[in-house]
Structure 1
Amino acid sequence: MFISINNLAALTGTSAAVTASWSRRGVYPSCVDSNGVRGFEMHDLLDIPEAKAMVENRWSEEFEVAPVRQFNSVELFAGAGGLALGMAKAGFHHVLLNEFDTSACNTLRKNRPDWNVIEGDVRHIDFTPLRRKVDFLSGGFPCQAFSYAGKQGGFSDTRGTLFFELARAVKEIQPKVFMCENVKGLVSHDDGRTIATIKNAIAELGYTLVEPHVLKAIMYQVPQKRERLILIAIRNDIAQHVEFHWPSPYERILTLRDAFFPGVIYDCEVPQSEGATYPEKKKKVMELVPQGGDWRNLPEEVARKYMGGSWLLGGGKTGMARRLSMSEPSLTLTCSPSQKQTERCHPVETRPLSVREYARIQTFPDEWQFMGAMSDKYKQIGNAVPVNLAWAVGRSLIRLFNDIETVMPTAASDCTEAVREIMLKQQSLVVKKNKVTQTSEVQSNLRQLNLFDDIVTVKKIGNDIPVDSKL
């Protein structure tokens, strides 16, 4: 299996200059593929851990993993459903999802009308009716500032953060396993004190934390250079009997060509869709940038004028005037494809990536529809966990739950009435949303009609809650 110099750099987390020097100096035998691209054969790179894992992968074997029974799950901070969809594809049965953003909730409801989605502030949800009825809880909590009242930092020191709300849900539900995902920067946030506080909080909750891993999406059939920190914790009464195994990678790195054309993950070309456009002045600048290039490929006078004050800072800034390459994975998607500091220009056409191209890079299926204004759609997709990454982790979690069933068999719980109770309580709330802080205040515990736009009532569920909602 061939890997280019640039893609090996993405795989190993180093620069293309370094991997090119490996070729030049003969550190590893190099070769040229049929397109004239220089790189390496993967079997010649077995002393590089990431390459070795891809060569010796168990992807096909793990792809066949299926749940031995229904495993109930709850997801918090669900967004547009990247993580939830991946977990569902792996075999989890979602009984409840929570998300604050209205457009994202509409996306979830549009695509999975049988999912029970609570739109609103997680702080107002009482999860106790689901105690010991749910097998798995997951959520990608936003990383807020943590307070450190205690010297060690634990559960009480996370109060006021959304991690605290996830931890509270764990405390109230007592799932067998829970998972948190976040940006890899959480590991070093505040000189490591944030992750230390989270670890201590997990221990106080009565769970054993699997050593956290930063997973590179490009290793899991995702055509995007995106890294996520994954934390998985197993309830103490179970942890000593089982062992979690991280997912095996796919055999090769997928590129934008795999995202936009028929191949491994899609059987047709990317559908036409709405998308952002460049002003004429910016378009003329971007037309000068080759595939895989950036501001450094512009004539000096053009670059100087385009970059403005950033020109004086020198070096780096490779996101500016950046055109992607069809033979490489995309850079990490952001909430907009045309921000000046994080440009994501189409490899061949001089325009920002379209909404559906964004979705394909995040490995959403083409039938998954995003609701809201175009800017809402970009934001939802940019903030999502890549579906195929979530699916790979989900399969490893299903394998863990199958192992738990072998040593500690239990029957799946019926969560219908518990979910009904939770959602009816939410139906009675009248809340005022603050979109800036992503929080809300309860105005009344009795539902009432209101004419003001900023008063949001939870959609009436009542007898419409399905008796047994399926994926």
Structure 2
Amino acid sequence: MIPEFYTIAQVADILSISKETLRRWDKNGKLVPVRNDENNYRLYHRSQLEQFEEVQLLFNSLWEKELNIKPERNYKLIELFAGAGGLAIGMEKAGFETVLLSEIDKYACQTLRQNRPEWNVVEGDINKLDFKKYRNSIDIISGGFPCQAFSYAGQKRGFEDARGTLFFEFARAIEEIKPKVFLAENVKGLLNHDCGKTLNTIKKIIDDIGYFLIEPRVLKAIFYKVPQKRERLFLVGIRKDIADKVKFRWPSPYNRIMTLRDALKKGDLYDCDVPLSTGIKYPQRKAEILSFVPEGGYWKDLPDNLQREFMMKSYYLGGGKTGMARRLAWNEPSLTLTCSPAQKQTERCHPDETRPLTVREYARIQTFPDSWQFSGPINNQYKQIGNAVPVNLAYAVGRSLIKLLNDSNNI
């Protein structure tokens, strides 16, 4: 059900602007909250927001209709750089049959095997894999290749320019297998990496190996039933012999923004509160200082003497550094999870308790099912979860890809 009122934090997330911008809009009359709630928070009525394109997409979403997309036949998938399985679970939920998963991290491989013994998990360096035996038998290749800078040297040799990078291995697999479609995901910074040269080289390589690239798009996880302000760049390529006969449509957004409360408490996302699990601890003095940070606050909310002690030399530098001494808020999505919940620059403190998020809390924010268990030392478990594609985001994109492949059957 679409909510009638929205908080300033929710509107800021939906419109991809800051709360400070909304406060300025309030002062100059551009967008004035209709009332305040019992906590004196600004509230906006949905009718005020319908002027914005992002909100129109949210209110007129086809999410429920797209949930009915099912594969018309058995679509086979190979995933590269599989990690702990966030993308793989989402694609499985969408209806793909996983034929092979390639991953180099031994603990991530243990996680995949523990949860899906039937999956063919190949552990080790991808450059030792020969994909030719799968030629023309796989419908889709997916994966999040690590982004490395390419060496151009002014030669513009396309495919050869990428040799030695992990994108080269991703492209090699596509060229050897010739799937109908591929899905690649990466950090949004790839859009402007090296002034756009890296992405331009990737586009040229994709063209050289016989694929039409849909214009890459940054997807915000909060729009796809994920309680986290995570943004990822997605690239979808379609083999040229079918590209002009089918149309890819990006998934519709869910009709509301999920919050940390949705992640950790019983509700629309999960049918019970988050299970107890292990988690790292703060050193005593750090915990004492963070205990003064209010829900949703950060280092600027500390008394001045504690600001100076915690920030040290950074206290005198410019910039907001809003991730430092940051406590999450129940009624907002989580900030983007990193490889550790207790890194000083990107603190992820529990909203009530003065401690880092636990492993299971981390997993819920990434929308992993509670049944999905993680292997390895606790620091590696955090790393596996923090590096993953949120399951519900992967599921939404997977449905769009199933629709594309269904349409290709009619060619």
> Which TM class, normalised by the smaller chain length?
over 0.9
Check if 1:48 corresponds to 2:55.
Answer: no
State which of 344, 351, 358 in structure 2 corresponds to 1:354: 358
Q: Which residue does the alignment assign to 2:6?
A: 3
Q: Which residue does the alignment assign to 2:261?
A: 257
The 1-side partners of 2:251 and 2:395 are apart by: 10
The 2-side partners of 1:316 and 1:5 are apart by: 19
The 2-side partners of 1:399 and 1:39 are apart by: 38
Which residues of 2 match residues 291-306 of structure 1 at below 5 A? 291-306=295-310
Q: Which residue does the alignment assign to 1:160?
A: 164
The 1-side partners of 2:258 and 2:232 are apart by: 18
Q: CA deviation at 1:42?
A: 3.0
The answer to whether the Cα contact below 8 Å between 1:73 and 1:95 also exists between their aligned partners in 2 is: yes
The 2-side partners of 1:153 and 1:195 are apart by: 14
| Secondary structure class of the residue paired with 2:82 | coil
The range that moved more, 149-158 or 88-97, is: 149-158
| Secondary structure class of the residue paired with 2:273 | coil
| Secondary structure class of the residue paired with 2:374 | coil
Q: CA deviation at 1:19?
A: 1.5
Q: Which residue does the alignment assign to 1:372?
A: 376
Check if 1:328 corresponds to 2:361.
Answer: no
Q: Which residue does the alignment assign to 1:338?
A: 342
The 2-side partners of 1:34 and 1:177 are apart by: 51
The range that moved more, 304-313 or 30-39, is: 30-39
| Secondary structure class of the residue paired with 2:198 | helix
The 1-side partners of 2:148 and 2:406 are apart by: 35
Q: Which residue does the alignment assign to 2:149?
A: 145
The 2-side partners of 1:34 and 1:257 are apart by: 19
Q: CA deviation at 1:152?
A: 3.8
Which residues of 2 match residues 102-141 of structure 1 at below 5 A? 102-141=106-145
Q: Which residue does the alignment assign to 1:237?
A: 241
Q: Which residue does the alignment assign to 1:383?
A: 387
The 2-side partners of 1:117 and 1:357 are apart by: 26
| Secondary structure class of the residue paired with 1:98 | strand
| Secondary structure class of the residue paired with 1:338 | coil
| Secondary structure class of the residue paired with 2:410 | helix
The 2-side partners of 1:99 and 1:67 are apart by: 26
The 1-side partners of 2:206 and 2:400 are apart by: 21
The range that moved more, 47-56 or 71-80, is: 47-56
Gaps of 5+ in 1: 408-471
Q: CA deviation at 1:29?
A: 4.5
Q: Counterpart of 2:182 in structure 1: which amino acid?
A: F
State which of 200, 218, 225 in structure 2 corresponds to 1:221: 225
Q: CA deviation at 1:36?
A: 4.4
The 1-side partners of 2:321 and 2:14 are apart by: 21
Check if 1:402 corresponds to 2:406.
Answer: yes
Distance 1:389 1:153, change over 3 A: farther
Q: How many residues align?
A: 407
| Secondary structure class of the residue paired with 2:357 | coil
| Secondary structure class of the residue paired with 2:329 | coil
Q: Counterpart of 1:270 in structure 2: which amino acid?
A: V
State which of 282, 288, 294 in structure 1 corresponds to 2:292: 288
Question: Which ranges of 4 or more aligned residues in structure 1 deviate by more than 4 Å?
Answer: 33-36
Tell me the TM-score normalized by structure 2. Answer: 0.97
| Secondary structure class of the residue paired with 2:335 | coil
The 2-side partners of 1:90 and 1:23 are apart by: 42
The 2-side partners of 1:395 and 1:29 are apart by: 38
The answer to whether the Cα contact below 8 Å between 1:6 and 1:19 also exists between their aligned partners in 2 is: no
State which of 173, 182, 185 in structure 2 corresponds to 1:181: 185
Gaps of 5+ in 2: none
The 1-side partners of 2:268 and 2:39 are apart by: 20
Q: CA deviation at 1:362?
A: 0.2
The answer to whether the Cα contact below 8 Å between 2:58 and 2:256 also exists between their aligned partners in 1 is: yes
Q: Which residue does the alignment assign to 1:69?
A: 73
| Secondary structure class of the residue paired with 1:190 | helix
The answer to whether the Cα contact below 8 Å between 2:82 and 2:144 also exists between their aligned partners in 1 is: yes
Q: CA deviation at 1:319?
A: 0.5
Q: CA deviation at 1:131?
A: 0.1
The 1-side partners of 2:129 and 2:398 are apart by: 25
The answer to whether the Cα contact below 8 Å between 1:142 and 1:163 also exists between their aligned partners in 2 is: yes
Cα deviation digits, residues 233-275 of structure 1 (max 9, x gap): 0000000100000000001110001001111110100000000
The range that moved more, 198-207 or 24-33, is: 24-33
Tell me the TM-score normalized by structure 1. Answer: 0.85
Cα deviation digits, residues 363-408 of structure 1 (max 9, x gap): 000000000011011000000000000000000100111111122x
